[in-house]
Amino acid sequence: MAQGRGRYLEAGLRSSGTAVVFLHGLFGSPDNWRPVMDALADGYYCLAPPFPIDHRPHRRPQDFRSIHQLTDGIRELFEEMRLERAVLCGNSLGGQVAIDFCLRYPERAEGLVLTGSAGLFERNLSGGELPKVTREFIREKAREIFYDPDPIVTEEMIADVQRMLSDRQYVRFLLRVAKATRNYNVREALAKLRLPTLVLWGRDDRITPPSVAREFYERLPHARLVFLERCGHSPPIERPRAFSRALRAFLQTLRTTPGEPR
């Protein structure tokens, strides 16, 4: 079972061999990865850290300017946990940070998994202005994330988000993060990533549509593309079993043969 240990979730044993670092999205948390980590714990060491983008003021940098700052935090985690190498697996904002990590620290990256990743195109809440935060607005935006939102988007979830977004300072911080995401387009850099990559996408993603997945696949030299049916922008939450099966199959290939050019 995945267990919290301070600032991150951990599952599996270090002696398992391949380590997988899971990175969540803008409104996500390490808990988004818990079912996937539990499913892989029998054969892999799994680690899911939180990004310092929390609604609590002491959990976010007041001088935030770029995605690189989040990547630096992941590098520090590698040092703290004494990880030599790992597979980076990221959803949405986490995918963009995973790409940046692989570009800047290729010797530490064994593989890359992108799911609903930012970095090419992503619909977000930022239009340069503070949105009017109402329950209806939050409900509408939350439902866009999932293919079948009814079991996931609860009134309790909506109330929690509304509480967070009632803090105007936090909303301004989120807009800075969203702007940094838009400003860091990875399109031209993807050809430099020579490591095995899995593009694992929801077929019904409305935030980063399937055309984005295909562009990642076409631009990454050693990529394979898998779509999950009846699935939106957050496959680890909506289709954790199917996601885990596809991820395990990819991880098993890393233990046998290196990635080959298409």
CB 115 within 8 A of CB 201: yes
Domain assignment of residue 133, yes or no: no
pLDDT over threshold 50, residue 262: no
- Angstrom distances, CA of residue 18 to CA of 30, 45, 155, 253: 19, 6, 39, 11
The string of pLDDT tens digits covering residues 114-162 is: 999 999 987 764 444 555 778 898 899 899 999 999 999 999 999 998 8
Domain assignment of residue 92, yes or no: yes
Highest mean pLDDT among 14-28, 173-187, 209-223: 209-223
Question: Can you give the pLDDT at residue 260?
Answer: 45
Which CATH number covers residue 99?
3.40.50.1820
Question: Can you give the pLDDT at residue 4?
Answer: 41
What mean pLDDT is reported for the chain?
Answer: 89
Number of domains, the chain: 1
Domain assignment of residue 58, yes or no: yes
Question: Can you give the pLDDT at residue 59?
Answer: 65
Domain assignment of residue 156, yes or no: no
Question: Can you give the pLDDT at residue 246?
Answer: 98
The string of pLDDT tens digits covering residues 48-57 is: 999 988 766 5
CA angle, 45 then 51 then 55, to 5°: 140
Question: Can you give the pLDDT at residue 127?
Answer: 47
Dist. CA 81–CA 62, nearest whole Å: 26
Domain assignment of residue 172, yes or no: no
The beta strands (E) that lie in 42-161 are given as 45-48, 86-91, 109-115
Domain assignment of residue 141, yes or no: no
Question: Can you give the pLDDT at residue 240?
Answer: 98
Domain assignment of residue 34, yes or no: yes
pTM summary value: 0.91
Domain assignment of residue 26, yes or no: yes
CB 152 within 8 A of CB 238: yes
Question: Can you give the pLDDT at residue 131?
Answer: 58
Dist. CA 53–CA 238, nearest whole Å: 23
**DSSP designation for 33:** G
What range does the domain containing 24 cover? 3-122+185-254
pLDDT tier, 259 (very low <50, low <70, confident <90, very high otherwise): very low
CB 212 within 8 A of CB 237: no
Question: Can you give the pLDDT at residue 56?
Answer: 67
Sheet with 45-48, side-by-side order of all strands:
3-5, 8-11, 45-48, 19-23, 86-91, 109-115, 197-202, 223-228
Dist. CA 245–CA 199, nearest whole Å: 14
